[in-house]
Structure 1
């Protein structure tokens, strides 16, 4: 691949740098819009003043810091995590349709959380209220364990199945996890099941400040680990035999990369619920926008696009609609489903991995 050479990387970096800047500007504008627009409009000067520590009044201060800022930060970092995880999974499974939701990883993370909820005897926010930090950590670890389990199974199947069959296996395992979650819900009472359903409805608005103190460092840690995998991921694009001939411990790298993907997916699912399609869309948009297969360029691109998509989708769901509130996955699905269809049809027309 010529676009993985150093010379091409330098040339492409010069070409795509303005696109990074544009993405950064979009994220900044969307972030400010998240803080300003809602049922109660907060003037932009009040938003900026509040962020700079000025006195903006009790009402606007409470709206800004108790509700909108945590939601915007959640969308920013969760979108980044899912964008990076989508790119990582597409590279590891050599399939442009690979995604935490499509592969069933999100549902497996939900199952891990449901098992913990069932054994704890409580659900959703009740778990966090009763156990505090221990409950938040437990929820995150249970979700990561669930996503790790499914990714491990898919990794074992990857060498024996073609790309489409592997996707179908992921979908079926995901539906199996959904069925098991329904069974587990029979072991908790109606109020607890209702609380779990509220947690299980994907949203960036449900995470508490205490949960963000776990989510944000966890996402940053995962992205740092992923940054360390940039060169091995580029080598894997050229084939596992080539990577092994260059002295790369392929199996160890794949296991570590799969755990990073499970870590990012599990964290986001624990505190946001099952967010659909965002990883798939972010990775594909980053590829189209940057026009490169080099992960040194794609990784920051997928992170930025994921953050922008997360903020944009959350903004749409929280616009001051007169009749009802749109669901996060419905908004993302309006973009994600056409992108998935386009990728599938393009793959059908031209064989090979891009």
Structure 2
């Protein structure tokens, strides 16, 4: 090879490397811009959730009240601070928690259809709530009202333990079963079994408690009071913080446990951390808001499409923001602005999430690479 050819080859290689670096840089910039866009969408959704409802409040008055001022009407200030603000904060925290929990489970099981609702995690949390509430005898309209701080902590702990127990069973089965479809079926069976236990508890409960429990299963972000927020918010924030600390283990486990071990990861410790984080996030959200369907499955896939990556350094903040925004949007739809009618939240999330899950199933071949070992 002549000196000129060698020089040309080196120049071409350098140019190729520069193009690759430029492409990667532009991809990172686009993803960061998408994150900024999601922040903007979340802010708009938050303001709309406080402004719209059975009583429409001008956005200017909403901003004034949130900044510590007073609205034009005293009743608007009361509506914002006592009803809509805690509801909106609850929706944001719950949506982020379910989305992160779903992402963690999809990565852990390397299954695109894994989620708190499908794998029976929400059913386990529901069983924990039923054991505490129906056993203790809280029969109020909001199910958790009147239990006090220790009671709220007890319900949150019971829901997390129930969710963790079911997830632990699924993990044990996942070590023996390599078929994703078999794992999903077994997860559904665990869910049916826990639902059967709940049905037995309901059968022996009095009618007032049964009605309260049934209303709770419809799902709602509007039942969490400021007192309960003192328990709900810190636990969700801690669960999210633990999830963000597990970014590197989640990325390592994308290509399987063998690859993760070769990278020096303590797989057993990482798995325990993921199970604890996902169980706390799904369990506590279920305890305070009811079993919310589909958000945990749908949001991670929407984020993968938005960011065009499986890197959890981008996906975790992405699902946190998108989950919070979608929860606010579904809650806004459920409250039918301008009307006093409120739809069951689970019905709205199902209508939003079911098409996404159907889309995942139809293009599942294309998703296998993201979860393959």
Shorter-chain TM-score: what band?
over 0.9
Which residue of structure 2 lines up, in the alignment, with residue 121 of structure 1?
137
Length-normalised TM-score, structure 1: 0.94
Q: Work out the CA distance in 2 between the residues paired with 1:242 and 1:78.
A: 33
Alignment of 1:240-279 (within 5 A): 240-279=257-296
Identify if the C-alpha distance between structure 1 residues 124 and 245 changes in structure 2 by more than 3 Å, giving closer, same or farther.
farther
Asked whether 1:182 is paired with 2:182, we answer no
> For residues 61 and 137 of structure 2, what CA distance do their matches in structure 1 show?
43
Aligned partner of 1:3 in structure 2 is none
Partner of 2:81: 65
CA distance in 2, matches of 1:261, 1:59: 39
State how 1:5-84 maps to structure 2 within 5 Å.
12-56=27-71, 57-84=73-100
The alpha-carbon distance between structure 1 residues 351 and 33, as it changes in their structure 2 partners (threshold 3 A), is closer
Q: Which runs of 5+ in 2 are unaligned?
A: 1-20
Task: Find the structure with the greater CA-based Rg.
Answer: 2
2-structure distance, mates of 1:219, 1:77: 7
Task: Please state how far the C-alpha of 1:186 moved relative to its aligned partner.
Answer: 2.2
User: Structure 1 residues 164, 66: CA separation in 2 closer, same or farther (over 3 Å shift)?
Assistant: same
Match of 2:106 in 1: 90
Query: Over aligned residues, Cα RMSD in angstroms?
Result: 2.0
- Contact residue 70 and residue 208 of structure 1 kept, 8 A: yes
The verdict on how the C-alpha distance between 1:300 and 1:248 changes in structure 2, with shifts beyond 3 A counting, is same
Residue 321 of structure 1 deviates from its aligned partner by 5.8
CA distance in 1, matches of 2:23, 2:189: 41
In 2 relative to 1, CA 124–200 (structure 1 residues): closer, same or farther, beyond 3 Å?
farther
Indicate which of 168, 180, 186 corresponds to 1:152.
Answer: 168
After superposition, give the CA deviation of every residue in 1:287-338 in whole Å (9 maximum; x if it has no partner). Answer: 0000011110111011111011101000111123658432211111112111
Structure 1 unaligned blocks of 5 or more:
1-5
Kept in 2, the 8 Å contact 1:317–1:328? The answer is yes
C-alpha distance in structure 2 between counterparts of 1:130 and 1:72, whole Å: 22
Q: Take 1:204 and 1:69, find their aligned partners in 2: how far apart are those partners? A: 11
Confirm or deny that 1:169 pairs with 2:186.
yes
Equivalent pair of 2:142/2:216 in contact (CA under 8 Å): no
Is 1:101 aligned to residue 104 of structure 2? no
SS at match of 2:350: helix
Selected match of 1:338 from 355, 363, 368: 355
Trace 1:212-223 onto structure 2 (pairs within 5 A): 212-223=229-240
Distance 1:351 1:91, change over 3 A: closer
What's the TM-score, normalizing by structure 2?
A: 0.89
The secondary structure found in structure 2 opposite 1:159 is: helix
In the TM superposition, what whole-angstrom CA distance separates every residue of 1:253-285 from its partner, at most 9, and x where no partner exists?
111111110000011001100000001111001
- The number of aligned residues is 350
The whole-number CA distance in structure 2 between the counterparts of 1:215 and 1:172 is: 29
TM-fit CA distance, 1:90: 0.3
Distance in 1 between residues matched to 2:342 and 2:218, nearest whole Å: 13
| Cα contact 2:125–2:283 (8 A) shared by 1 | yes
**C-alpha separation in 2, matches of 1:306 and 1:126:** 24
State how far apart, in whole Å, the 1-side matches of 2:88 and 2:145 are. 22
Deviations, residues 98-144 of structure 1 (Å, cap 9, x unaligned): 11011111011000110111321224557644431111111101100
TM-fit CA distance, 1:84 = 0.6
CA distance in 1, matches of 2:187, 2:220: 23
Q: 1:124 to 1:11 in 2, by over 3 A?
A: farther
CA contact (8 A) 1:124 1:198 kept: no
Question: Which residue matches 2:126?
Answer: 110
Q: Supply the distance in 2 between the matched residues of 1:261 and 1:272 (Cα, whole angstroms).
A: 16
Q: CA deviation at 1:353?
A: 3.7
Instruction: Pick closer, same or farther for the CA change 1:189–1:322 going to 2, 3 Å.
Output: same
